Amino acid sequence: MSAPLSTLFHGDLTIETGSDQALYGLGDLNVSNNTLILGTSNSTNAGTGALRVAGGLGVGADAYLGALLNVSSTSNLQTTFIDTSLGGFYVSGGNTITMSVGAAVSLTSTGGNSSIISNNSTIIQGGLNSGNAVQILASNAAGGVNVLSGQSGQLALTAGSGGIQGLTSSGNINLTANNGSGNFIVNSSVGNQNLTLSMSGGTDSQILIQSDGINTTLPAIKINSSNSAGNIQIANNGGLGAGSISTLTGSGGYTVTTNTGGPIQITAQAAASYFVVNSTASNQNLTIGMNGATNSALILQSAGTNSTGALLIRNTNTSGSILISQPASSSGKVEIDTGSSGLSAITQTGGGINLTSNGGTSSFTNATTADNQNLTVSVAGTTDSKLILSSAGTSNQALQILATGTSSGIYASAVGSVQINSSDSTNGISIGTLSNVPIKIGGSTSTTTVYGNLDVRGTTTTVESTVVKITDNLLELNVGPSGSADSGVALKRYQSANNAGTGDVVADTPDNSPGQLAQGGSTTSITLIATDTKPDNYYNGYWIKILSGTGANQVRRIKSYNATTKVASIYTTADQTGVLGNPIPVEGLDFTTTPTITSLYGLYPCEWIIAMWDSTANEYSIVCSPMISGSATPIIAHYVNLHVNNIIANQITATTINGATADVSSTFTLTDNNTTPVSLTGVPFNYGVYILLVKPTTASATRPFAIFVLGRANSTSTGTASRLTSVKGTSNEQLDAQWNASSFPQIFYRPAPGSNTTTNYTYKVISV
């Protein structure tokens, strides 16, 4: 007798429908591995044989039959291999043969001819979207292709938009029409459908177009573009050859006339050009003009490098004048745009320069490119004279003094007093209202007196003094309107960037206790452990201390964190003044010893202790935070310890009580039409023993209740889940639980109620 591996049945095994089909099913047999049937009976019909299946048979892998296969109905074969080694393959009969497959079809004869013969038409058709859709090939190098029509038949080649191509290898092409007209016509419908006659190869050959016609009324040779928009080009190697094009005319002259809108362009490449009128009498003028009141221009231009006269307008007669003018009442302008040598206007003694703008906006700009290219407007001479900048404009900025450079400033200095006054009793005098820049009044030893009320409106007010005296007896905190921020008092703990491992913040137990090994670093960054799962910029504001190994006792503050690369950048020595504003104690300092894979680091978030109203949680909290902002809820890293005598409260929520984990309550949602498990991430630890109580919070009169006992030794093993009691829902649904390896406990329907809704559940975890 065989030794049972798990369960052994002697005799017949019958699986019947369960007493409760919803709970125990219809009696299906599910086998996760192989099934061995030792019967040897042959099958002579559908009701005999070692294996009899009343319904259909589905086989998901290869099947092998060692004997005869009989198919008494239609056979649908997915993949078929026929070997003719024992005999030929014959298909006969009076019906149609249809072969239709979704891949290539190959018929190859390795020892004889292949013939396709029909007493009617023979159609060879290819449906590929390619120039090789139908191919007739001679595979032998000396083989030919013979396409022959009947004696009085016609050979027709009709192609689609892919065209017809003919190519020979060192062979001629001859097309001859005997006693008939010859036409080679391209019926173009879109651009670039050209008719090209070309001669390739650098040989002493030519394209010859000639005519023996004797027509005396029309040209013997005519080059004509019959389309009104067609162009004609005669070129020598595209205009880049060494040859020339000569046009020789008789005494009738040379006439070039374009239709309306047709330009004439003549260009000489690297050669002097001349268009000269040799006048011998008056009014033999050379006129270069532009007619027509259109938005067109007459352009005289030169690319010459002559520094004194690349473009000259010169009158060589001493009594001649040069006039550049606009018509009376013109709306045009005269514009002079010079190079770096500048614009010079010199008058003789006594000659003035007047620049007057009548009713327009004027500007005088010195666009500098180097230092000390100043624009000076001055009054010379030690007389009682003034430099007056005045404006009669009515704007509130009628007179502006602007310095618009990225680092330019305005400096006003006088031997006497400097006065800034305004007669506007409403708007008064405004200083620094257009941009967010620091404003300084007085020096480190001067006294600044502000008379009247002082209204400070900003994000942060910093007072650096030994003693701050506030004579009022009420301090009001109201950072912003409803929903904009939280209010509270923040205490900053003393912590500096140093190499001694000291400070109040780094004296705490690190968040990643007992520390983790870095992956390396630089003078301005440290790469955290590869398994860190925190998101981008999570550690911004944290302090980091090298606990041991390379760079031990270095303390730095984190500026930014990249979750992908695990690189935490620190506030550097350059950031101390450039970004942080030179805080005391020092917070920006480069690593003096670059961290390595031996550097064990600790992370510390609690630089600020904040007693505040948390509007998000609707509670008053005492927390620690790595950073604070006056316009947003502080980042809550931890809630701080509070030691008091008696506590009186309406409701207390606790994580632990006297060192033991307190009961945990939370919620989850199940979809009512499936049995998909939902993880209970609120379980205190991913191991241990718990009692789990589950009840519905919606549809409480129809959905199930349950109590489970859960247990697991560690987070990587499979736990146990035992149901102590279960109350069915009105659709006979029940709850079940499981605790798989490397996951939290899961709750799911077994079976599901089957409706297209969801149900919210509340669960309570009782732990030891």
Selection from 373, 357, 355, 375 nearest residue 365 by Cα:
375
Residue 588 shares a structural domain with residue 497? yes
Residue 581 shares a structural domain with residue 685? no
Domain of residue 755, CATH code: 2.60.40.1680
pLDDT tier at 48, thresholds 50, 70, 90: confident
231 vs 667: which has the higher pLDDT:
667
The token duo for 239 is 């205009």
Looking at the predicted structure, is the pLDDT value of residue 82 above 60? yes
- Cα separation, 289 vs 300, whole angstroms: 11
86 vs 726: which has the higher pLDDT:
726
46 vs 152: which has the higher pLDDT:
46
Looking at the predicted structure, is the pLDDT value of residue 680 above 80? yes
pLDDT in tens, 491-516: 899 999 999 999 999 999 999 999 99
Looking at the predicted structure, is the pLDDT value of residue 691 above 90? yes
> What is residue 447's predicted lDDT score, i.e. its pLDDT?
77
> What is residue 230's predicted lDDT score, i.e. its pLDDT?
75
Residue 561 lies in a domain: yes
Residue 665 shares a structural domain with residue 557? no
- Cα separation, 601 vs 607, whole angstroms: 17
Selection from 529, 501, 497, 526 nearest residue 515 by Cα:
529
Residue 550 lies in a domain: yes
> What is residue 6's predicted lDDT score, i.e. its pLDDT?
43
Residue 495 shares a structural domain with residue 602? yes
Bond before 514 cis per omega within 30 degrees: yes
CB 670 within 8 A of CB 763: no
pLDDT tier at 762, thresholds 50, 70, 90: very high
Give the lowest-confidence range in 26-40, 460-474, 601-615: 460-474
**Sign of CA pseudo-dihedral 613, 617, 619, 620:** negative
- Structural domain including 580 reads 488-610
Domain count, the chain: 2
- Cα separation, 27 vs 35, whole angstroms: 17
Highest-confidence segment of 60-64, 227-231, 355-359, 738-742 = 738-742
What is the average per-residue pLDDT within 362-382? 79
331 vs 522: which has the higher pLDDT:
522
Residue 261 lies in a domain: no
Residue 675 shares a structural domain with residue 603? no
pLDDT tier at 331, thresholds 50, 70, 90: confident
**Whole-structure pTM value:** 0.38
> What is residue 478's predicted lDDT score, i.e. its pLDDT?
59
Bond before 595 cis per omega within 30 degrees: no
Give the lowest-confidence range in 103-117, 472-486, 559-573: 472-486
What is the average per-residue pLDDT within 714-731? 88
Strands 567-570 and 525-527: antiparallel
> What is residue 10's predicted lDDT score, i.e. its pLDDT?
53
Residue 513 lies in a domain: yes
- Cα separation, 37 vs 24, whole angstroms: 26
Mean pLDDT of the chain: 80
Looking at the predicted structure, is the pLDDT value of residue 256 above 50? yes
Strands 720-727 and 600-604: unpaired
pLDDT tier at 736, thresholds 50, 70, 90: very high
Residue 202 lies in a domain: no
Cα 131 to chain centroid, rounded: 38
Looking at the predicted structure, is the pLDDT value of residue 667 above 90? yes
Give percent above pLDDT 90 in the chain: 23
Q: SS3 for 646-680, per residue?
A: CCCCCCCCCCEECCEECCEEEEEEEECCCCCCEEC
Residue 599 lies in a domain: yes
List Cβ<8 Å contacts ≥24 apart for 388-397. Answer: 396/427
> What is residue 474's predicted lDDT score, i.e. its pLDDT?
62
pLDDT tier at 251, thresholds 50, 70, 90: low
Looking at the predicted structure, is the pLDDT value of residue 151 above 70? no
> What is residue 194's predicted lDDT score, i.e. its pLDDT?
78
Point out the domain boundary residue: 545, 577, 610: 610
Looking at the predicted structure, is the pLDDT value of residue 114 above 80? no
> What is residue 409's predicted lDDT score, i.e. its pLDDT?
81
Give percent above pLDDT 70 in the chain: 86
Residue 328 lies in a domain: no
What is the average per-residue pLDDT within 313-326? 76
Looking at the predicted structure, is the pLDDT value of residue 179 above 70? no
pLDDT tier at 483, thresholds 50, 70, 90: low
Looking at the predicted structure, is the pLDDT value of residue 481 above 60? no
Residue 662 shares a structural domain with residue 746? yes
> What is residue 589's predicted lDDT score, i.e. its pLDDT?
97
> What is residue 4's predicted lDDT score, i.e. its pLDDT?
46
Instruction: Kindly write down the DSSP assignment for every residue of 171-236, as one continuous string.
Output: -------TTS---------STT--------SSSS-----------SSS-SS-----STT------S
Point out the domain boundary residue: 588, 610, 632: 610
Residue 542 lies in a domain: yes
Selection from 557, 553, 565, 573 nearest residue 520 by Cα:
565
Point out the domain boundary residue: 610, 641, 673: 610
Residue 759 shares a structural domain with residue 686? yes
Looking at the predicted structure, is the pLDDT value of residue 530 above 90? yes
DSSP 761: E
pLDDT tier at 5, thresholds 50, 70, 90: very low
Residue 503 shares a structural domain with residue 573? yes
CA angle 497, 503, 509 (to 5 degrees): 115
- Cα separation, 125 vs 468, whole angstroms: 98
The token duo for 726 is 């279960």
